[in-house]
Amino acid sequence: MKLKLLQILLVSAAFGWAISIYGVFCSWDSALVQLKGLGADAIPDDPMLDYWLRMAAGAFTGIGVFCMVLAINPKKYSAVIPFAGLFLIIEGIILLVHGIRLGLEPIPFYFDVTFCLATGTGIWLLRHEAAALKQGKQGDTAGDREACL
């Protein structure tokens, strides 16, 4: 059960990040409409900003693909899962600090922070489940068995 929850959190993280693939392929005008819909002020038509959008969208999509790989085969990648959880927690803290510093509107700021902190904390707390499966324990430790007796 805990392993399935870990996988659900990893898949959630995967989709939350990989949705950025839209930014890789959309037109600049479409990107401006989406960014303004998320609360951005007027954005100049600047080729460098267009380039940075594609760079960030590509990197975010890569993080999503990485999380999906972990979700598909958590046993194989059990040693990396804690780092994914820590990354999301650290990213959530970065977003929180700078969102407050910049005085951002609640949407999407609160959602982004909550998403990173919730998925990251969940993955971190369940990080040992895939390793337990790898060792043949399937998420059931001796301590859990003794506590039930």
Q: Which amino acid is at 43?
A: I
Residue whose token pair is 């002020």: 41
Is the pLDDT at 137 greater than 70, yes or no? no
pLDDT of residue 129: 94
**Is the separation of the CB atoms in 73 and 2 below 8 Å?**
no
How far is C-alpha 123 from the geometric centre of its chain's CA atoms? 10
Q: Is the pTM of this model over 0.75?
A: yes
Residue 136 pLDDT > 50: yes
60-110: per-residue pLDDT in tens?
Answer: 999 999 999 999 999 999 999 999 999 999 999 999 999 999 999 998 899
Give every CB contact of residue 32 below 8 A, 6+ residues apart in sequence.
43
Rounded mean pLDDT of 40-52? 95
- Number of C-alpha atoms within 13 angstroms, CB side, residue 12? 19
Report pLDDT for 138: 56
- pLDDT band of residue 145 (cuts 50, 70, 90) is very low
